[in-house]
Structure 1
Amino acid sequence: MSRTPHPQEPTLLTPEVLVVGAGPAGLTAAAALARRIPGEVLVLEREAEPGGIPRHSHHTGYGIRDLRRLLTGPAYARRLTAAARAAGAVVRTRATVTGWAAPPGGSPRPAVDVTSPEGRFRVEPRAVVLATGARERPRAARLVPGDRPAGVLTTGQLQNALHRDPRHIVGRRAVVVGAEPVSRSAVRTLRRAGCRVALLLSAHRHTEAYTALALSATALLGAPVAHRTRLVRVIGRTRVEAVEIEHLDTGARRTVACDTVVLTGDWIPDHELARGAGLDLDPGTRGPLVDTALRTSRPGVYAAGNLLHPVDTADAAALDGRHVAAQIAAQIAARLAGHEPADPPPGVRLLAEAPFRWVAPGLLRPGDPAPPRGRLLLWPDAYHRAPRLTLRRDGGTIAEHRPARPAAPGRVLPVPWSLVPPSALRDPDRGPLTIGLR
């Protein structure tokens, strides 16, 4: 719905649900909602094409969990976009949400201002899903010293450049900083571009990626991993000529010749809109603090995908979108039936302690559904071959769990929701729950 504005006023749009971000989480949420609710579902994407990060990743490995198919990144992005549009969602690209607005008349609806080539819009939906994803920190944010030549990229910049122009010359010999799954993606992208990877650098003692991926990088792609090693200097005038690296245990330094450096991992959520809305943020993830229904601290505003857990796989983010769509659809159905949903009860904070950086979701409420896929997500900062997890409160152990796989930096460690007994949520005044190692 829209109305013709005064020349100085933005066009008003009033969809039932607004989804900000057309990546896997946003597109999947939009498709599920458009099939289940009577009103319009509007998706806004600031890029020229929908699909998110996968549209730049030409290797395979996408769609296994959500679509039960093995697809390349661009094929996966096209399929999700087509599904959202076929379900009836409206997907607008080159549309940037510039900030939050106060709706007229004290309406409880959230409202945002939008700028696009078609003009300015004000969108006043009943519910908002923030699915803005995450990004890698660039060189400036990582404080990498040395010269400032061309040829230093993040994985996203690398894949975006090659996606826009396949003839783009990346270089002939690269060093990749990081050894997690996204680092392997960078290795495959460089290989497609004709660039040999001389070395992957990891600050950890063990490879962050799954064993199969680690073997494929070394044996098939010819990319050895230097563990316990960091980048200390970039060397080059107009173009990268070499890097200086240091072993963290011995302090020994050496120079590796290369003309390209790819900085991978070190994720941070795209949380500008969340911060602008004044949402409570999780200090670990730095994204919005949500409960297992993916509600934020502001009524009517939800969040999903790698904005909440930077960073999980694309199909896991898509399943977040499916989960949040079910929660919103249930709320809308209740309201249409004349049952205005009550405010959610107080929640219990769930905290992570070292060696874990964060746990998501971070707020647990009695009576809420299980989290997406029935799992809590942990992000380890250190390798543990056989971790034994404990859930504690006030120094006492409530439950324990031994995962089937190691805890390793650079990948999410899933924890079954059954670890949290319902009795632990009945008295929020008793303080937070903490998950860590025995």
Structure 2
Amino acid sequence: MPDLPQQTDEDVDVVVIGAGPAGLTLAHALGELGISDVLIIDRDTQPGGVPRYSDHHGYGIRDLRQPLRGPIYAGHLALRAVKGGARIMTEATVTDINAEQRTIEVTAPSGRFTIHAKVIVIATGCRERPRAARLIPGTRPSGVFTTAWLQRLVHLQHGSPGKRAVIVGAEHVSYSAVLTLRHAKCSIVAMVTERARHDSFTVFNIGARARWRFPLLRSATVTRILGDHQVTGVEIQDRKGRTKVLDCDSVIFTGDWVAENELARRAGLLIDPGTGGPAVDAHQATSAPGIFAIGNVLHPAATADICALDGEHAAAGIAAYLNAPGGWPTRSLRLRTEGTIQWATPSLLTPEVLNAARGKVLVQFSERRRLPRLEVVQGGNRLWSGFVPWGIPTRPVPISDSWLARVSASGSDPVLRVLP
């Protein structure tokens, strides 16, 4: 195979890896601050991220204050970014980051090249765990999808997933899969979750099941996929060990999110063990000077508008870094979590940085808790305590960032935990 041609290297102020809602909104916000030398790179054919092929309402509520369909929302964000002066390069893959030299290596149809940037922003998002990563045994027939691949098939390629589908998972994105399947005139045999109940909004669950009349099979796991060339069914097992086969011709694996952290790891960034993404402070700055991270690579998986607000918030910190890179504060403390709290972000604490995105710290639980009360302590001092409305796996819940101002730079790492 011949070597790809070499394209001319380039110098920019800010390079953003990922043209989803977070990256596009960041570019727009930077433009509002007078920073227009921004290059956004994405491996897809068009900018917009997941909303581009998630063709249903519900996007733009928190950031744009209006409900939009996914493709319209994606197009609007891309147009704003370009109007702010940003350039968008699609069908280009970032293969490496050098944190010390602040460069990225890019491969595109036009060749391989290097981008030198004053600031690198990682906005690579997250992905659903596919069948192989879930270690589901059985044959390898066609008809097995994640929600993302299902929506690409239906809304971009105008293909059909089949006639009868089983959905694995019962969180927000699972009900997005319901809408996509019904758009493709595919009936839903059942929704299967290993949890004791669904993890989405009750109105989503009741509304979808009442309209399309499919069962929610709780405390059940998929133990085998059947079929030679095409899926013919799935075997499920309940908590008592009883098995049965659901006849279907497609299986949709939903949720179970994983941060797209490969580039962050290659850059040698500190990785948050809970999220799997880069650890950041309240400015969205990572452990390496001049490298920031935004969106669902930090908190898999929040909604698109929350990711967009991440990008909007990060703009001020990036502008401050560009103005005074040598005076950037160092981070000596980390936010630790205990018990049933899986992760919290931001997790790098800088006493000089007092405000997180949207004024909130996002918290994810590993198991369901009803109206849990949390506290943040540093040594023997309680910095904050309060109730949160839910403790549900897969649904991050926000808490106030007011306690950041009370963190002592000379103290121990603060701890976030659930009170009994």
Give the TM-score normalised by structure 2: 0.95
Counterpart position of 1:219: 210
Which residue pairs with 2:284 in the alignment?
A: 294
Match for 2:395: what amino acid?
R
Instruction: Return the alpha-carbon distance in structure 2 between the equivalents of residues 221 and 417 of structure 1.
Output: 41
* Number of residue pairs aligned between Structure 1 and Structure 2: 417
Say yes or no: does 1:210 pair with 2:193: no
More deviation, 108-117/196-205: 108-117
Is 1:21 aligned to residue 18 of structure 2?
yes
Counterpart of 1:141, as a letter, is A
Distance 2:102 2:57 in 1: 38
- Match of residue 34 from structure 1: 31
Cα gap change, 1:359/1:421 in structure 2, threshold over 3 Å: closer, same or farther?
A: closer
* 1:140-168, Cα deviation, whole Å (9 max, x unpaired): 111011121111110011011112221x1
Q: Could you tell which deviates more after superposition, 34-43 or 320-329?
A: 34-43
Q: Does 1:425 align with 2:408?
A: yes
Name which of 119, 128, 140 aligns with 2:132.
Answer: 140
Distance of aligned partners of 1:13 and 1:199 in 2 relative to their CA distance in 1, 3 Å threshold: same
Alpha-carbon separation, structure 2, partners of 1:87 and 1:394: 46
Correspondence list, 1:224-235, <5 A? 224-235=215-226
Q: Per-residue deviation at 1:53?
A: 0.6
Matched, 1:184 2:170: no
Which residue is 2:308 aligned to?
A: 318
Deviates more, 1:45-54 or 1:406-415: 406-415
1:416 lines up with 2:416 in the alignment: no
Tell me the SS of whatever aligns to 2:344: strand
Cross-structure match for 1:124: 116
Mapping for residues 56-135 of structure 1, pairs under 5 Å: 56-101=53-98, 109-135=101-127
Structure 1 residue 79 displacement after superposition:
0.5
Name the CA distance, whole Å, in 2 between partners of 1:40 and 1:330.
15
Query: Are the equivalent residues in 2 in contact too, given 1:13–1:124 (CA < 8 A)?
Result: yes
Give, in whole Å, the separation in 1 of the partners of 2:247 and 2:201. Answer: 28
Alignment of 1:371-390 (within 5 A): 371-390=356-375
Moved more, 274-283 or 342-351: 342-351
Moved more, 385-394 or 13-22: 385-394
Match of 1:278 among 268, 284, 287: 268
Q: Secondary structure at the match of 1:66?
A: coil
- Higher deviation after alignment, 124-133 or 387-396: 387-396
Does residue 434 in structure 1 map to residue 419 in structure 2?
no
Q: 1:157 to 1:421 in 2, by over 3 A?
A: closer
Tell me the SS of whatever aligns to 2:299. coil
1:79-132 deviation line (CA, Å, top 9, x unaligned) = 001111111100010111111258xxxxx6501111111222211010011100
Deviation at 1:285, TM superposition (A): 0.4
- Provide closer, same or farther for how the CA distance between residues 421 and 370 of structure 1 changes in structure 2, counting only shifts above 3 A: closer
Structure 2: how far apart are the matches of 1:271 and 1:129?
13
Q: CA deviation at 1:256?
A: 1.0
Q: 1:39 to 1:196 in 2, by over 3 A?
A: closer
Shift of 1:362: 1.0
Aligned residue number for residue 4 of structure 1:
none
CA 1:278/1:117 → structure 2, altered by over 3 Å: closer, same or farther?
same
Match of 1:353 in 2: 338
Counterpart in the other structure of 2:148: 156
Amino acid at match of 1:301: I
- 1:244 counterpart residue number: 235
Determine the C-alpha separation between the residues in 1 that align with 2:162 and 2:393: 29
Q: Rate the CA distance shift 1:175–1:67 in 2: closer, same or farther, 3 A.
A: same
- CA deviation map 1:349-382 (0-9, x unaligned): 1122232211111111102031111111111222
Cα distance in 2 for partners of 1:218, 1:352 equals 36
Stretch moving more, 183-192 or 362-371: 362-371
Which residue of 184, 188, 198 corresponds with 1:197? 188
Q: Distance in 2 between matches of 1:86 and 1:367?
A: 33
Query: Cα distance 1:221–1:370, how it changes in 2: closer, same or farther (>3 A)?
Result: farther
Unmatched 5+ residue regions in structure 2? none
Q: Distance in 2 between matches of 1:110 and 1:119?
A: 20
Alpha-carbon RMSD: 1.8
Q: 1:305 to 1:421 in 2, by over 3 A?
A: closer
Secondary structure of the structure 1 residue equivalent to 2:232: strand
CA distance in 2, matches of 1:296, 1:138: 28
1:105 maps to none
Cα offset, 1:398, TM superposition? 4.4
The 3 A distance-change label for structure 1 pair 224 and 393 is farther
Contact 1:109-1:300 within 8 A present in 2 as well = no
Partners of 2:139 and 2:226 within 8 A in 1: yes
For the residue of structure 1 that corresponds to 2:285, the secondary structure is coil
How many Å separate the matches in 2 of 1:46 and 1:69? 28
> Displacement, 1:56?
0.8
